[in-house]
């Protein structure tokens, strides 16, 4: 199965519904086991990355990550390319609901051309590495004014085998009520697709914005690797 076929074979009606209701949707496996292993094996390779971030140094949590350099590894590039056109219409609908005039080009190349014209030229897909007691504080992945409203994260390690704990978590902050957490059960090779900074929620007087942040709970044992696919490039 080609990457585009694997993405097209997903139930996009269910994904759109889950995103609408909770801000996150879980997919079936999107990588072969060997592809996940190969991505993890790239981690020490200096030439494949443009930057390394030690999270503790910035108050981001504990653990580290590296942003890929262009050209991205083929499975990451292909998933970014294939998922974008499925998400762009959902992004347009959400903006319409939120009375935001921005609409998204139909293809990733079209969208990246807009990012590059706005000075956001650095690749944002990344590889994250967590060991025992590492965690990722709640945050939003914003890298400039250009923000594509969805992103994905792929679980490259085997939960319960390679690591325990380390759960992907989304927290939503509604106006005037207390925050709500959604802990996302991610299986090996599966992806979570989620809203980058907010989602439209239906209220009595139409839609309003509900703010979202994501992070990872403490890894209790072992090593956990993920690949993050962010669609906007960075300044
Ligand atoms: O490691 C994870 O599950 C989440 C990483 C993350 O923050 C991201 O992909 O943006
Ligand atoms: Fe993130």
Calpha distance 213→223 (Å, rounded): 23
Q: Whose CA is nearest to atom 7 of ligand 1?
A: 215
Calpha distance 46→168 (Å, rounded): 27
Between CA 120 and CA 129, with CA 125 as vertex, the angle to 5 degrees is 135
Residues across the chain? 235
Q: Using a 6 Å CB cutoff, which residues line ligand 1?
A: 128, 136, 141, 153, 168, 214, 216, 226, 228
CA 205–ligand 2 middle distance (angstroms): 32
pLDDT per residue of the chain (235 residues) written in tens, 0 to 9: 678 789 999 999 999 999 999 999 999 999 999 999 999 999 999 999 999 999 999 999 999 999 999 999 999 999 999 999 999 999 999 999 999 999 999 999 999 999 999 999 999 999 999 999 999 999 999 999 999 999 999 999 999 999 999 999 999 998 889 999 999 999 999 999 999 999 999 999 999 999 999 999 999 999 999 999 999 999 9
What's the CATH number where 140 sits? 2.60.120.620
In-domain check, residue 40: yes
- What's residue 17's pLDDT? 98
Calpha distance 125→145 (Å, rounded): 17
Q: In a mutational test of the pocket of ligand 1, which residue from 55, 58, 162, 168 has the highest number of ligand atoms less than 8 Å from its CB?
A: 168
ipTM: 0.99
Calpha distance 200→33 (Å, rounded): 36
CA atoms within 13 A on the CB side of 74: 6
CA 167–ligand 1 middle distance (angstroms): 10
User: In terms of C-beta distances under 8 Å and separation of at least 24 residues, what long-range contacts does 205-209 make, across chains too?
Assistant: 206/97, 207/97, 207/98, 208/175, 209/98
Looking at ligand 1, which atom is closest to the CA of residue 226? 1
In-domain check, residue 235: no
Contacts of 153 by beta carbon, 8 Å cutoff, 6+ apart:
168, 186, 191, 192, 194, 226, 227, 228, 229
In-domain check, residue 207: yes
In-domain check, residue 85: yes
Helical spans, DSSP H, in 10-159: 12-22, 33-42, 55-58, 74-97, 108-117
CA 215–ligand 1 middle distance (angstroms): 6
- What's residue 1's pLDDT? 60
Other CB atoms within a 10 A radius of the CB of residue 83 amount to 27
Encoding tokens for residue 165?
């704990």
Q: Answer whether 148's CB lies under 8 Å from 94's CB.
A: no
Number of separate domains in the chain: 1
CA 155–ligand 2 middle distance (angstroms): 13
In-domain check, residue 144: yes
Q: What is the domain extent for residue 66?
A: 3-230
**Neighbouring-strand partners of residue 66:** 52, 127
CA 205–ligand 1 middle distance (angstroms): 34
Between β-strands 224-230 and 126-130, what pairing exists: parallel, antiparallel or unpaired? antiparallel
């Amino acid at each position: 199965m080609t990457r585009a076929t694997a993405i097209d074979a997903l139930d996009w009606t269910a994904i759109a519904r889950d995103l609408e209701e909770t801000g996150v949707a879980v997919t079936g496996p999107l990588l072969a086991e060997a592809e996940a292993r190969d991505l993890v094996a790239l981690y020490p390779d200096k030439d494949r990355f443009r930057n390394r971030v030690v999270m503790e140094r910035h108050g981001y949590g504990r653990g580290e990550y590296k942003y890929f350099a262009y050209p991205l590894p083929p499975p990451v590039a292909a998933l970014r390319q294939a998922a974008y056109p499925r998400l762009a219409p959902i992004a347009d609908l959400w903006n319409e609901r939120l009375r935001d005039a921005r609409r998204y080009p139909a293809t990733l190349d079209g969208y990246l051309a807009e990012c590059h014209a706005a000075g956001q030229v650095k690749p944002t897909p990344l590889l994250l590495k967590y060991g025992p007691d590492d965690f990722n504080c709640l945050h939003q992945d914003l890298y400039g004014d250009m923000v594509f409203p969805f992103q994905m994260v792929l679980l490259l390690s085997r939960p319960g085998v390679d690591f325990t704990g380390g759960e992907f978590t989304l927290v939503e902050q509604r106006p005037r009520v207390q925050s709500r957490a959604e802990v996302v059960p991610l299986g090996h090779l599966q992806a979570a697709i989620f809203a980058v900074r907010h989602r439209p929620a239906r209220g009595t007087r139409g839609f309003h914005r509900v703010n979202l942040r994501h992070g990872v709970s403490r890894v209790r044992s072992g090593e956990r690797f993920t690949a993050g696919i962010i669609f906007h490039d960075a300044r």
